[in-house]
Structure 1
């Protein structure tokens, strides 16, 4: 057996089958490239679902992590540590907010946002206890905890996990009239992805996010933006909400906040909103640990230069143009792109998205399929134009007919 076959066989025998990965076994990575155990290189066009916005092995992030590893990695929140205050200050400033509540994973941050919205509803808005309602959008993906899958419309994510958590109402994504009709006196929040990533990089109609902001402000409802995948440079702006000059009441952040080095997530909001939490009511042993704060501080410093936002805008325009040209050949049924983030619907005549992903892997390009016909493209923001063009050349070859 080859090293690849041995590794996959061990994973299949002893790892739970909750993923169906492509048959590649990565051993090392740098920048936008990964190398497998056989020494073959692959262009990473997924970037860990945007967790690797700044590339594999980013030297500034690794140096920050190494320096902190030599000092202290964990104290728990039972004590203060010297990186926590700086991290909260810098992230709050990046978001234009007052307070930060750090966690580890995106799902934890969404759970935190849900709990925060409900507490705010009871303690500030005056909703009767046990009646708080949060409105969500169809085709959402916010994580995989029991509460979160309770308001998923994806059968694969939701099935066989009941009984489900009540308190959520689903409306069509992008439909302001439906959202307005769903808001009532017990509504405490609207939870949305500014761009629905897992659903296939679905971009809402122009003006939708601004409309959500207007409605929630008018009705005294919190607007929670799940920017776990879409924030921190991916779409060409620091936040995807920036494309409509919208500032939500709560940002939910994750993935790229840890630079692909450590898991870091956070809820960022005003003091009025996050101030509803009292000691002992919510927490996390690892949330806001020194190592996480050190890496995240370096991520924030990278974003302050604007370099990565500019790269995502410039290369994203090129990516969008090239994908539209390819769509003109009939190989792609639809293209959705914002910054260096694209969803393409493969024409049925060219195979399923999984089949196309496998053929791309054979040519040295790694992407991810979703929902049968869609491929997501999200390379690290450090990718060169030459490498991006090479990846697109492989896609053209695979879809040639």
Structure 2
């Protein structure tokens, strides 16, 4: 059995030497269903995710599902696209463990190579590539290490697992619980309380997550209007990032600094940070970060009253982030866009458009349920 591979530029899907050519929206729909395999999506979910910037007809999803089923019939032993009556559609993945290599058949060097690939894909923001490796563990003959097994649940949107699982150590999940609350809660004052509760337990976290929390706090304080705390946090975070000597962390810090500069109306400072960040991205093309800085460049254009360019850049940034298949980054990006529109009140039409996308994401990933569950799980504030 071979790997399923995807050709985004040609809208082709390959498996075991066979290639199926799809239309652009057929390809996008299949990719989304495959990424969320064994999960059920409503028609509204699919319309919002695949046709987010369009106005499709009521029959659009059904017609595309019908055509996909016909074109993919030869692969029905791998997966089927099933109708879930009264709800929508689900891509059902059919495991075939009897054909898979056992991990101990292959040498340690091979497993290490796979882990290095995961680390590279992670750093470059290539979520789809990470998911392809994960989905084909049996074929390749390796087991995902615990860190990436949990991380992939996070980036693919399996958020309910983090509040419902009873087996993983709380220290391993704390960082994710904070981010789930942070990205789904528009009220930054509430998130600050959650942040303080998580900080009290941070000794149980891996050291890297503790460092990331310190960098995350910059935008968190800025979103809450705590300018002095945000600037103090910049100084702390710079010391951490300088010690790590990581371009990924450097871009992460610069993204947080950009949010602070925009929200505190330091427009020229924000544009200068974006310029420096895009210079780094010319040599290290990290797609998540490229999408984020493109989006923030669009927000700067709003402050320059260049509305047409602002709209284009924000839409472009969101599509780049969406293409990385990192669900949390998409949610957080939409959250930031809506916060900007709320504060600066400059484009009601685009605000309404992104509010609809937010509402669809909220329904799909059960934001209210997640937040209530997280508040019950975390230790109470003092």
The two structures share one fold, judged by TM-score above 0.5: no
More helix by share: 2
More strand by share: 1
TM-score, reference length from structure 1: 0.27
